Amino acid sequence: MKKMMKISILAICMFTLLTSAVNAKPSSAVNAKPLHHTQKGWIVPQRFLPVPSAASEALQEILSKLHQPDIRRAISQTPKDKAEWSEMVESQKGMMTEYIKMYAKEMSVKVEKDRIGTVKIYRVTPINIAPEHSKHLFIYIHGGAYIFGSGDAGLPEAIMIASRIGIPVISVDYRTAPKDPFPAAVEDMTALYKALLKSHPASSIAIGGSSSGGGLALASIHRFKSLGLDLPAAIYAGTPWSDLTKRGDSYFINEGIDHKLITYDGFLEAAAKLYANGTDLKDPLLSPIYGNFDRFPPTYLVTGTRDLFLSNTIRVHRKLRESGVEADLNVYEGFSHVEYLVAKNSPEAHEIYKELGEFLKKHLSDSDVSLSF
Amino acid sequence: MKKMMKISILAICMFTLLTSAVNAKPSSAVNAKPLHHTQKGWIVPQRFLPVPSAASEALQEILSKLHQPDIRRAISQTPKDKAEWSEMVESQKGMMTEYIKMYAKEMSVKVEKDRIGTVKIYRVTPINIAPEHSKHLFIYIHGGAYIFGSGDAGLPEAIMIASRIGIPVISVDYRTAPKDPFPAAVEDMTALYKALLKSHPASSIAIGGSSSGGGLALASIHRFKSLGLDLPAAIYAGTPWSDLTKRGDSYFINEGIDHKLITYDGFLEAAAKLYANGTDLKDPLLSPIYGNFDRFPPTYLVTGTRDLFLSNTIRVHRKLRESGVEADLNVYEGFSHVEYLVAKNSPEAHEIYKELGEFLKKHLSDSDVSLSF
């Protein structure tokens, strides 16, 4: 048995035949700068990360103009308490209003503020609705770490989806922390969805968003399932915040590489706790990765090689596939978190919404009869 | 217009609202150790990479026992010339023979050395062929950077595929560098495939492998297309070496993180040049990413968050999707290059071959009529 194991290990080493260094002792140069840690693992040395030459020129141009992500500064700028968070939220109110008006016009989309029951929403309607989506509805959930993105600040991607896919969108202006922590957001989603089911069959509804919006979409499905509701026909999970704890390989690999999020430490960690407000971060309604994905609707997922949430995305993909759910994973070269909202006119961003549109067309139905489980 | 742009940038920054550090100046601590480079990009500071706690316990146990990948040592151990390469190849001959015999027995697979025309092969036949695959054939192409893996050393994954999927496998013992550089391997694949088409409809044939084996599978399809041959019904591209140049984000991000390949510099770079033997590395028969993927067969792709070939894999996935080809991308948490061959009894490795089996079942046909284009 021991011999078999020895030979087996040899065989493994032989197979890729590039393994001479696998069991090598760390060099003294690397050992010279030990980091403090208690977990098992490795030190990854400093390296130069070039602008990704295999990405589109549009993305390369954007990335080549950015300064190096500064991990320490990102951490140091995290608000220290609820008052500082509230102050930051207040200071940003209304900053997007003028831009959203112009952007909606540029994208030929009509934006109307409304309310369904107690839940604030925006109706984001393309001037030219695609014939195949005339009876469909996309429930859009904005990002912003459950703290930011309220009001019209949450509309840029809702406008993109409405415009590029030609589908009517309801963008949910759900309640956010620190004023209204968990479970307010999930409650808003549930109340809204129940109300919409009265006028729309579940089979005609898609749900989704990016970052915490993608996470909230997945958490909402967990909630809808537990309530026995008919489920939407498709999910869009754009680099979803599926695990609010610092669990996931890419939290470590892509620290200082993702130019949008930079690091989990500081901002994300604090936002997670602020939103959770004492509830265990591993509650599936907070970190949907810890839930059961059986019977989930078909899901379209997007992430990138530099995304701090790469693991958040691929772990959801695996969970869905293990539950036998159709799940379509797409990883973009050189993309940091929600890069498609930064490089929004890049070929990659166009590709994402084109494919998402095809995915919705495939899975949404005009039928009045919902698929019920 | 300029105002619109300014506001647009503001909007982008507002959207994720985590961007205060994006335009931050690099800190002096980071600047203190500049790396020499001419390209645009960033310096990524040294970091600690823990064993991935969201991976299976089996994988965590394997990774927790490995020493830190040593980039300098990996580079320094690269053979210096053809003679040294040949010597390394010779020194490893026969080392796998005993292991392969035991492993085939353990996996209930029969291995027979044979020849089809001038091409050396192994018939790797499961004792229990799955009824759905009784008329199917899997052409397996081993890895080893186009230099190693000849003879029975190339059989471990062929045995896994035969055993776990229950499909008859022909493992190709194609000619390798430095003795027989490019295009010998592609010529062997073509001769073999043409011969097999006489007894098997293309619709009953799958083709694939890992690493350079996955790359050679993709390159072979480019070649089959140009010859007007009926194409196989499905491709398996396990972390394929699709770009032999150092192009791809993960060559940089996962350097020193991937414990199998460690770095492109040194070994892979030298192997690519040795195999190419003067042909442009961007020739699609060497680096299949540079070819046209129209009409490619449905493709199942596997990679991992630590894979030096993550970009090699996701770039192929995007190319296939852009060509309208069904392509199924799967990214595993904590996986380095071909980790499923290291952690071969992990839940992840079982999942991969189970899903690959389902993929083959879906796409292979028993029909005698090949799909012809």
B64/B51 Cα distance (integer angstroms): 6
pLDDT digits (tens, 9 = 90+) for B192-202: 999 999 999 99
CB B140 within 8 A of CB B158: yes
Among A68, A171, A210, A335, the residue to mutate for chain B (most B Cβ within 10 A): A68
Q: Whose CA is closest to B51, among B76, B35, B68, B37?
A: B68
Can you name the residues that pair with B110 across neighbouring β-strands?
A: B125
Contacts of A14 in chain B (CB under 8 A): 92, 95-96, 148, 153
Closest in A24, A29, A355 to B67, CB measured: A24
pLDDT tops 70 at residue A36 = no
Phi, psi of A31 (to 5 degrees): -65, -20
Question: Which element (helix H / strand E) includes B4?
Answer: helix B2-16
What average pLDDT does the segment B330-345 reach?
98
The reply to whether residue A40 touches residue B52, judged by beta carbons under 8 angstroms, is no
pLDDT at B368: 55
Going by C-beta distance under 8 Å and a sequence separation of 6 or more, which residues neighbour residue A160?
A107, A341, A344, A349, A353
Chain A closest CA to B68's CA: distance in Å?
Answer: 5
The reply to whether residue B253 touches residue A250, judged by beta carbons under 8 angstroms, is no
Contacts of B16 in chain A (CB under 8 A): 143-144, 211, 260-261, 337-338, 341
Closest in B37, B252, B306 to A249, CB measured: B306
pLDDT digits (tens, 9 = 90+) for A100-142: 999 999 999 999 999 999 999 999 999 999 999 999 999 999 9
pLDDT digits (tens, 9 = 90+) for A57-95: 999 999 999 989 999 999 999 999 999 999 999 999 999
Among B5, B15, B71, the residue to mutate for chain A (most A Cβ within 10 A): B15
Closest in B24, B145, B318 to A67, CB measured: B24
The reply to whether residue A4 touches residue B102, judged by beta carbons under 8 angstroms, is yes
CB B256 within 8 A of CB B262: yes
pTM, to two decimals: 0.92
pLDDT at A373: 40
Chain B closest CA to A205's CA: distance in Å?
Answer: 25
C-alpha distance from residue A145 to each of A78, A305, A347, A353, B132 (Å): 13, 21, 27, 23, 48
What average pLDDT does the segment B76-93 reach?
94
Q: Which chain A residue has the Cα nearest residue B313?
A: A331
Query: Residue A217: what residue type?
Result: A
All structural domains of chain A with their residue ranges: 82-363
pLDDT digits (tens, 9 = 90+) for B58-77: 999 999 999 899 999 999 99
CATH fold of B82-363: Rossmann fold (3.40.50)
The reply to whether residue B99 touches residue A338, judged by beta carbons under 8 angstroms, is no
Dihedral sign computed on CA atoms, order B361, B362, B363, B365: positive
